[in-house]
Structure 1
Amino acid sequence: MQWRDGLIGGLATLALAAAADPAGWRFSAPIQVQQDAPLVQLPLTPSAYGRSQLSGLADLRIVDARGERVPFAFLAPRDAEITTTEQTREAAMYALPQRPSANGEWSVPLEIIVQGERITIKRGGATTAAQAMLGAAAHSGGWVFDLGRRTSADPPTQSLRLTWSAPAEFSAGFDLQTSDDLRQWRGAGSGQLLALASPTGPLTQPTVLLPANVARFVRLVWLEPTSAPTLTRAEALAQRPLATPLDAPTELVLAPTPAPAPGLRTVATDEPKHALHFDLGAVLPVVQLDLQLGAGTRVAPVRLQGRSRADAPWRELAPAVFYRFERGGAVSVSPPLALRTELRFLRVVPDERSAALDPAQTHLAMQAQLTRLVFARQGEAPFTLWAGAAQPGSGALPLATLVPQLDEERPRFGRATLGAWSEVAAVARQAETAEQLAALRPWLLWAVLLVGVAALALMVWRLMRAPAAGA
């Protein structure tokens, strides 16, 4: 009987697989040490993620030339180092007339006109050094500074740095107000400018601190105009934070792959029209995505979807708009999309109101923050990285155990790279046998169920015949 022979063969295969070593490593790659040290750092590659069979890279091992284990730990990526750069730009300045009476309105030497989203400023002319001298002689009550229009990408102005021509020594207090329309003013604190002479040179305090998210216009009112200096220039200062990656992510550029056909390990869904598919080769920790479009002017509003396995449903990641503009020989492109997630398969679904993306001219530029290893250089070189075991047991040490003083040791780490991977034929055959057995398991269960039903029916039939035979 064919079904019985198949059942016996399947059970024999199951017994052989159970008798095999469950902790065999399928893949290995040589570790090439470029800079020797007691502790060596090894950046992992996407291929290492692809060979790993367990989440969290739990099946990685490092061994020496004799096959002895080498202690290692996972070295998580460091956060970017935040530094600040100072940006300066000149601010237009206008002298105020003398202080009005207690109930009088203080006129401003410029006017702002708002028409929808268009803003027009009628200026009386920016103050020059000669005009500043004239204003000082008339005991100007203060100054109005125009910080300029600020976009969402510009950092807020934090202070003003003032320059004056006279006198050599002074101490002048002031009050500050800010306004967006030159009509409604609100208080913004007070301060003092001063200049003192000393044997080593003049001592000055030229900085006017501004409140957070200061408005466009700043009005400085002298508390005592007769002792105020003659201003000649004003600079707006802003601090722009700059993030410098200490462990730069790995960049990959991928071409589209064919859409997966529905099968035993894929989910059958309605495929969106003109969707592009990308296979990263492994589940990678993605931090940034970008679509590189073909030549010419192109605008691509899309939806990004991802999944970690071919048998998992797609999940929505983010909507995005990628573009490429050509203007007179210059090319401007959309900024990359910051996206922190883990996935292997990416699907780009274009908006139905836009043109289809050309698979031959569209590529995915992706940055992944891959893990690094640090291992102790003990044992006999060369060293090898193993991967791809179903039941590997204990793996990496805690980082604090391997490197108790990480901040001190990190600058002294050696460097290594990973070579080409090779596959162990015996373990590969064992894995293929396990996959075949997994595919055969449902049929084996059905066969066992049918045999059980047949045996039960035979027992019932014999019980039903027993009383008749006795009679």
Structure 2
Amino acid sequence: MIGKSRPCWLGIMGLCVALSALAQEKPTDYSTQVPLSLSGEGPWYRLELPLSLQLSARQSDLSDVRVFNAAGEPQAYALAREQAQATQSHSLTDVKWFPLYNSADAPQATPSVRVKSSANGTLVEVSPTGQQEAGEEVLRGWLLDASAIKAPLQQLVLDWSSERDGFQRFSIEASDDLQHWQDWGDGQVARLSFADERVEQHEVALPGQSARYLRLLWQSPQAAPALSSARLASSTTSSLPLPLAWSQPLAGSSAKPGEYTWQLPLGLPLEQVRVELAQANSLAPVTLYGRQDGNAPWQTLGSGLLYRLTQNGQDVVRDQLQLPGHAVAQLKLVVDQRGGGLGAQAPTLRFAVRSTQLVFLARGEPPFSLALGNPTVKAANLSLSTLIPDYSPQRLAGLGKATASGGAVATLQPPVVAVTPGPDWKKVGLWAVLLLGVAALAGMAFSLLRKPQV
């Protein structure tokens, strides 16, 4: 009897192997496939995942992303999302500021100054090159001494005299020698009184570059306010965050005045949102909420003051909110109606996520393809240090490059298991045979136990 049980065990093992083969992944298990073109030196290749491709996934953490070769064999890969973390450490440093004056007859001219500095480059004195009579000079801006900060500058924080309310708009220039200046764009701060409340905006984003000196020249109004403090936030990370990838405009809906909702294609870790302010002279204190699905409670993501105001013939716009990077699939914007609201129809909204890089080890014959869109598969990505044994952040930039060929996305039929209603009779039959085999084996064991010992 014991000898006859061996064929049963072999049959059970064969059935298990057959069931395992059914679970083997194939390119056709995914709803979207994109051909990849390779350039540079392999065998590792780096692919910047466009947001349009990320939206083709069916799992918010991109667990259903795969790379296949020409034979349909999956490739080992890693998602380089740890490079998209914000920053490892920040510092906020108080800096010295020096006034920049202009003649009242030529307020648009760049102030000409005479500078004294110490041996290490720290500014000691900044004065006009020419003497002007009292009452003829205009405070045009400020020169900030950032020579003591060696890390890239991320943010400027200003405070100014209380008698100057409203918006303050100025240009930002950077220099290392006080002779050659690089344009860093425009900055804007504000202090507003609204419905017995005071709304203040002190922070201005900087491009994340190093500079010894900053020059701020006021544009609107042309005369600068008296500063009471100036601070610079810097980052000490060795690598900057990956850039933001912005979505196309997303339509929303409104169930009641002052509340607007948007449904995202899937849960995404949002870094910023931009709300369209279609009407001029819009002023809206807002709070943004998010959640993963309709059954979860709303969680506060951020708040702020959105506006589009016309000043001196120009639009002054603030339409973005910074978010903490939590994964959400639904958004709700609640507007304080005392500012006039944003209208009965929901404004369009664009969202931004950090770019994601996929690195894979090319094995087998090309062409290679990227596959996405399967709600049931498990994550298969490795860590970068496992995929590339001598990995370093510097080496990541030197890997070969993979790109989606022509940007064409081939959408296939979803996997049969995901769309076919009713039971899968093939799997049911296999499981039934397996269970019958186990039952037969148990019966044989039971009969052996009942047999009298000789």
Question: Could you tell me the TM-score, scaled by structure 2's length?
Answer: 0.51
8 Å contact 2:269–2:353 — kept in the other structure? yes
- Aligned in 2, Cα 1:383/1:339: closer, same or farther, shift over 3 Å? same
CA distance in 1, matches of 2:40, 2:408: 20
Is 1:376 aligned with 2:361? yes
Is 1:406 aligned with 2:406? no
Pick one of 228, 232, 238 that aligns with 1:240: 232
Counting only pairs closer than 5 Å after superposition, residues 8-19 of structure 1 correspond to structure 2 as none
Deviates more, 1:298-307 or 1:361-370: 361-370
- Aligned in 2, Cα 1:23/1:299: closer, same or farther, shift over 3 Å? farther
Pick one of 409, 414, 422 that aligns with 1:421: 409
Instruction: Give the structure with the higher percent helix.
Output: 1
Is 1:61 aligned with 2:66? yes
Give the structure 2 partner of residue 181 of structure 1: none
Give the structure 1 partner of residue 6 of structure 2: none
> Number of matched residues?
277
CA distance in 1, matches of 2:411, 2:244: 27
- Aligned in 2, Cα 1:29/1:342: closer, same or farther, shift over 3 Å? same
> Which digits, 9 at most, give the CA deviation of each residue in 1:347-373, with x for residues without a partner?
212224343424768332322114211
CA distance in 2, matches of 1:85, 1:405: 38
CA distance in 2, matches of 1:273, 1:129: 59
Give the structure 2 partner of residue 432 of structure 1: 419
Is 1:306 aligned with 2:290? yes
> Which digits, 9 at most, give the CA deviation of each residue in 1:59-106, with x for residues without a partner?
2211111111211111123456889998862499xxxxxxxxxxxxxx
Pick one of 396, 418, 428 that aligns with 2:381: 396
- Aligned in 2, Cα 1:21/1:312: closer, same or farther, shift over 3 Å? farther
CA distance in 2, matches of 1:34, 1:322: 44
Shift of 1:294: 1.1
Is 1:252 aligned with 2:260? no
Is 1:293 aligned with 2:293? no
SS at match of 2:420: helix
CA distance in 1, matches of 2:229, 2:258: 49
8 Å contact 2:77–2:387 — kept in the other structure? yes
AA aligned opposite 2:77: F
Pick one of 336, 343, 347 that aligns with 1:351: 336
8 Å contact 2:39–2:402 — kept in the other structure? yes
Pick one of 92, 98, 103 that aligns with 1:89: 98
CA distance in 2, matches of 1:155, 1:67: 61
Deviates more, 1:299-308 or 1:32-41: 32-41
> Which digits, 9 at most, give the CA deviation of each residue in 1:147-182, with x for residues without a partner?
999xx92399xxxxxxxxxxxxxxxxxxxxxxxxxx
AA aligned opposite 2:47: L
8 Å contact 2:288–2:334 — kept in the other structure? yes
SS at match of 2:403: strand
Is 1:339 aligned with 2:327? no
- Aligned in 2, Cα 1:37/1:238: closer, same or farther, shift over 3 Å? farther
8 Å contact 1:31–1:385 — kept in the other structure? yes
SS at match of 1:254: coil
Amino-acid identity (%): 23
8 Å contact 2:251–2:346 — kept in the other structure? no
8 Å contact 2:33–2:410 — kept in the other structure? yes
Shift of 1:324: 0.8
Give the structure 1 partner of residue 261 of structure 2: 277
8 Å contact 2:273–2:321 — kept in the other structure? yes
Shift of 1:407: 2.9
Is 1:362 aligned with 2:350? no
- Aligned in 2, Cα 1:49/1:313: closer, same or farther, shift over 3 Å? farther
SS at match of 1:294: coil
AA aligned opposite 1:433: T
8 Å contact 1:26–1:388 — kept in the other structure? yes
Shift of 1:35: 3.1
AA aligned opposite 2:36: Q
Shift of 1:128: 11
CA distance in 2, matches of 1:343, 1:282: 8
Is 1:40 aligned with 2:45? yes
Give the structure 2 partner of residue 221 of structure 1: none
- Aligned in 2, Cα 1:388/1:240: closer, same or farther, shift over 3 Å? same
Task: Give structure 2 stretches of 5+ with no counterpart.
Answer: 1-18, 102-126, 132-141, 145-155, 161-227, 424-454
Is 1:73 aligned with 2:78? yes
Is 1:321 aligned with 2:305? yes
8 Å contact 2:291–2:328 — kept in the other structure? yes
CA distance in 1, matches of 2:20, 2:128: 92
CA distance in 2, matches of 1:349, 1:59: 34
- Aligned in 2, Cα 1:380/1:90: closer, same or farther, shift over 3 Å? same
> Which digits, 9 at most, give the CA deviation of each residue in 1:89-133, with x for residues without a partner?
2499xxxxxxxxxxxxxxxxxxxxxxxxxxxxxxxxx99999xxx
Give the structure 2 partner of residue 95 of structure 1: none
CA distance in 2, matches of 1:421, 1:129: 65
8 Å contact 1:42–1:374 — kept in the other structure? yes
CA distance in 2, matches of 1:422, 1:374: 21
Counting only pairs closer than 5 Å after superposition, residues 144-155 of structure 1 correspond to structure 2 as 153-154=157-158
Question: What is the root-mean-square deviation in Å for CA atoms of aligned residues?
Answer: 4.3
Pick one of 368, 371, 380 that aligns with 1:386: 371
Question: Could you tell me the TM-score, scaled by structure 1's length?
Answer: 0.49
CA distance in 2, matches of 1:255, 1:391: 27
CA distance in 2, matches of 1:61, 1:71: 9
Shift of 1:250: 0.6
Deviates more, 1:332-341 or 1:355-364: 355-364
8 Å contact 2:293–2:329 — kept in the other structure? yes
8 Å contact 1:302–1:349 — kept in the other structure? yes
> Which digits, 9 at most, give the CA deviation of each residue in 1:268-319, with x for residues without a partner?
xxx4434222233221111112322014110112221212224434333233
CA distance in 2, matches of 1:272, 1:237: 43
AA aligned opposite 2:245: T
Pick one of 23, 29, 35 that aligns with 2:33: 29
8 Å contact 1:31–1:416 — kept in the other structure? no
SS at match of 1:331: strand
SS at match of 2:157: coil
CA distance in 2, matches of 1:148, 1:88: 6
- Aligned in 2, Cα 1:352/1:329: closer, same or farther, shift over 3 Å? closer
> Which digits, 9 at most, give the CA deviation of each residue in 1:427-446, with x for residues without a partner?
44432235x77xxxxxxxxx
Shift of 1:32: 2.8
